[in-house]
Amino acid sequence: MKNVNDPEMKRYFSVLTAILLDRELPALSKEETESMIGLSQAFCTTTVLAASESFLSLCEPNAAALLSLRLFKTVQKQIRQEFEYENLCEKLRKADVRFLPLKGIVSRHLYPQKEMRPSSDVDLFYDRDRRKEIRTIMAECGFELDHSDPNHDVFVKNEIKIEMHHNLTCEAREWEHYYDHIWQRLRRENGSEYRFSPEDFYIFHLMHTRKHFITGVLDFRFLLDMILMRKKWQLDPAYLIAELEKLHLRVFEERMRFLAEVIAGEREADAKDQSLFDFAFVHKKDQSLAFSAYQNKERGGTLRYAFSKLFPSYHYMSEKYLSLQRFPVLLPFYYIGRIFRYLFGEKKVKVNALDRNGGAVELFRELEL
């Protein structure tokens, strides 16, 4: 993949943002449209180009037909997703279960056409006290429980996947109690449906972006979402700075915002932008392992890090093991189980992962992660 200041990359970014921000498309030759399609496949943004009649008119007929087919499949899936989503929302309202739509089901409406922003699943946060009822409601909707983890229960019905979140985040310890009183901060809109303010949606988006960044699965659409949020919403900068400081995300947000501005053609990329771009979208291998090793070195050494992994907080454990909510006295036994799994089952984090992911530790330090 090329340097972000490479003319071909800059042309690709200009095409993307022209479509997204209703600007005039730059002049493109047939060869350049083929290059744009190739880059869109690498960045998983094909549907943005496919939904633009102006771009399709510049393509060879076969290429335009393939893009249109891709868009058709995306639209088909979105129709099925939204049918199931609306049906579920109606049942949640009737049962008076508080819920909050998250991620792509919301951010797709920022795009000129929502099919430009496909999502692999549908995400909702709900009142965790109603978890047993949720499973009943999902069964009534024809969904089966696929698996559970400390954040959510995942339900599937044919190709449609819905993630029902009972916890908004447990990726970082400093975030553990950030959403303790979340329902008081949300806006009630339609029965038991709630919504984030634009600022709080943006903050949650950054938390989710950080998670994907450190695990090596960051999607380029996260940057496009960020560009559109900042263009279409009047965000309160003072509130954002204060909240991002609490979450230790101020520097990370700034760097991601600068990179988004490069993509939008609002500034030239510097060496730091290139480093961030390479790490996020090019050199993804071993990122999760590298970040664990970084935490090991930076946050108190091997023993302290191992202790924090073996003995996480009761809050985390009770979300992962629901029986602890009824019988907290069992917590020591679950800790013993974690020790045995660590000693005899799980892979050990290796500090030399930092060496295999060149510059990772320096970048993590710069971002204050």
Q: Does residue 43 have a pLDDT over 60?
A: yes
Question: How is residue 186 written in tokens?
Answer: 């949300």
Question: Each residue of 102-148: pLDDT tens digit?
Answer: 999 999 999 999 999 999 999 999 998 999 999 999 999 999 999 88
The pLDDT value given to residue 303: 60
Beta strands, E only, 13-172: 99-102, 122-126, 144-148, 152-157, 160-165
The whole-angstrom separation of Cα 318 and Cα 337 is 14
Question: How is residue 131 written in tokens?
Answer: 């978890």
Rg of the chain over Cα atoms, rounded to whole angstroms, equals 22
Asked if residues 235 and 202 have their Cβ atoms less than 8 Å apart, the reply is yes
Asked if residues 18 and 24 have their Cβ atoms less than 8 Å apart, the reply is yes
Q: Which residues, at least 6 apart from 180, have a Cβ–Cβ distance to it below 8 Å?
A: none
The whole-angstrom separation of Cα 123 and Cα 129 is 18
Closest CA to 116 of 28, 52, 58: 52
Closest CA to 364 of 299, 308, 304: 299
Distance of CA 130 to the CA centre of its chain: 25
Place of tokens 């029965």: 191
Least confident among 165-169, 201-205, 224-228: 165-169
The whole-angstrom separation of Cα 297 and Cα 237 is 33
In the predicted model, what is the mean pLDDT of residues 148-153? 85
Distances (CA, A) of 34 to 31, 41, 117, 148: 5, 11, 21, 42
Q: Assign 4 a pLDDT band (cuts: 50, 70, 90).
A: confident
Asked if residues 279 and 346 have their Cβ atoms less than 8 Å apart, the reply is no
Q: Assign 160 a pLDDT band (cuts: 50, 70, 90).
A: very high
Place of tokens 């454990």: 317
Residue spans per domain, the chain: 1-59, 76-196, 197-284, 289-367
Q: Assign 284 a pLDDT band (cuts: 50, 70, 90).
A: low
In CATH, the architecture of 76-196 is 2-Layer Sandwich (3.30)
Question: How is residue 237 written in tokens?
Answer: 């900068």
Identify which has the larger pLDDT, 292 or 133.
Answer: 133
Asked if residues 294 and 364 have their Cβ atoms less than 8 Å apart, the reply is yes
Question: Each residue of 295-331: pLDDT tens digit?
Answer: 555 555 556 656 666 777 666 676 567 677 778 778 8
The whole-angstrom separation of Cα 256 and Cα 359 is 17
Q: Assign 227 a pLDDT band (cuts: 50, 70, 90).
A: very high
